Amino acid sequence: MSAASAPQFHAPAGTIIGWTDGPVVRATGIRYARAARFQPPVAEPAAVEPILATAAAPACPQVADPRLAVAFGDFYADATFDEDCLRLSVTRPADFRPGETLPVLVWVHGGSYVTGAGDVPLYDPAALVQEQRVVFVAVTYRLGLLGFLGGPGGSPPNLGLLDLREALRWVQRNSAAFGGNPALVTLLGHSSGADAIAHLMVAEGTAGLFRRVILHSAPLGLAPNRGAMTQAMRAAVGDVEPAADVAQVLAREESVNQAVRRFGLKSGMPFGTQYGAYPLPAEADVEQAWRAVAPAVDVLVGATAEETRFFAFIDPRLAWIERVPVVGGLLTRALVRITSNRIYLKPARTFARRQSEAGGRAYRFEVLFSPAGPALGAAHTVDLPLLLGTRAGWAATALLGASSWERVDAAGRQVRQLWTDFARTGVLPAAVDIPGVLRLRQEPAA
């Protein structure tokens, strides 16, 4: 496709040249900000020359986690890695009609604040965009030591959160050029991405940047009382020269794992947001901050029924439990139930209840979908193929077991419809039961 015939979007950011990909149009790898290492992001100024947006956003450099391949195979197929990763990608229907105004979904990927990227192939939004007619924005941001440590006397904490805030400002300025409605922005996040969104709700400078949030599997049970662990992490990392090779930075990041082992469940996600550091309130004040913003932000929050079964499946250090004669299966199920409830399910209920009590609208869901055959069950990440990705991408993973794509897609269509109804209106039925897929309830007003 020649530049003259390629889709062009005339936005405040500049003239953006995208590309047509079957039923959708994409504009990929658009820079929304720049940042020197360990420094806050600076918004990208309007471009004088056209922006060629035809390559995927690079992923933030990260320490490879070989366990991910157990569930996802080649998670980073064809990916590039670069600290200059403050990019986003926009997807909209190819048959967009002039004058049409679409809700905007902003995707914040998960990965325990240390892995992942916005343009990972498994997160392809094409089906969601075509089927539900939305503008989809996938954001890539800084991770791990580059984005989520820092502290007194060193680099600022919460840099990755500031990256996300800057991306949302870009969406407010530019989404209308893609047919999106900046007054109908919904943040959609999974795992640590959902945790980040929950904290963006109470971050300074985010008021008015989004109207709704959808929180999948946010590990909110790991958020409180992290101060001692964070101090241990800083001590383990030591001083990192801003000019050090990125490989040296990542080597320091690996040293964190040993330092945090004594902190129990929290050590499963050592990096994360820090209360009391800009732009977040102090931990003692965060509860009231969530209550204060509740009337302005609609919430859809939930988790899968067996969240932590995923980690038991991918981590060889936990696999021995299942092999214990006679009682192995019982022990695994008991541990999955206890840890899933503590880290994900109970905190989601608490979040929804507080939202409703404070005068906001809240819905709570539980994903029941369980792949056929000897797979993971209704575990962490099993909800992702219901929302994003393609037959070819997910068929290459172990996550779906023996399930056909037809079964996955049929379940996913129902979820995608509900989620985009929420993005458009903020209103869902008070009770939804899709057998074997999803249970949803509106949190009653106090």
Catalytic positions, written as ranges: 191, 307, 380
Record the tokens describing residue 290, joined without a space. Answer: 């969530």
Q: Vertex 286, ends 198 and 263: CA angle to 5°? A: 80
HSE (side-chain half, CA atoms, 13 Å) at 56: 17
Residue 381: which of 133, 165, 30, 123 has the closest Cα? 123
Half-sphere exposure of 202 (CA within 13 A, CB side): 23
What is 70-139 written as a DSSP string? Answer: HHHSSTTTT--B-S---EEEEEEETTPPTT--EEEEEEE--STTTS--TT-GGG--HHHHHHHT-EEEEE
Say whether 373 sits in a helix, a strand or coil.
Answer: coil
CA distance 346 to 351: 9
CB 196 within 8 A of CB 139: no
Tokens 């996600």 appear where?
Answer: 269
Beta carbons within 10 angstroms of residue 427's beta carbon = 12
Residue 110: alpha-carbon gap to chain centroid:
4
The C-alpha atoms of residue 68 and residue 71 are separated, in whole angstroms, by 6
329: CB partners within 8 A, 6+ apart: 322
CB within 8 Å of 334: residues ≥ 6 apart: none
Residue 329, φ and ψ in degrees, nearest 5: -65, -40
Torsion sign, CA atoms 192, 196, 197, 199 = positive
Question: Could you give the C-alpha distances from 329 to 46, 320, 326, 439, in angstroms and in order?
Answer: 58, 11, 8, 26
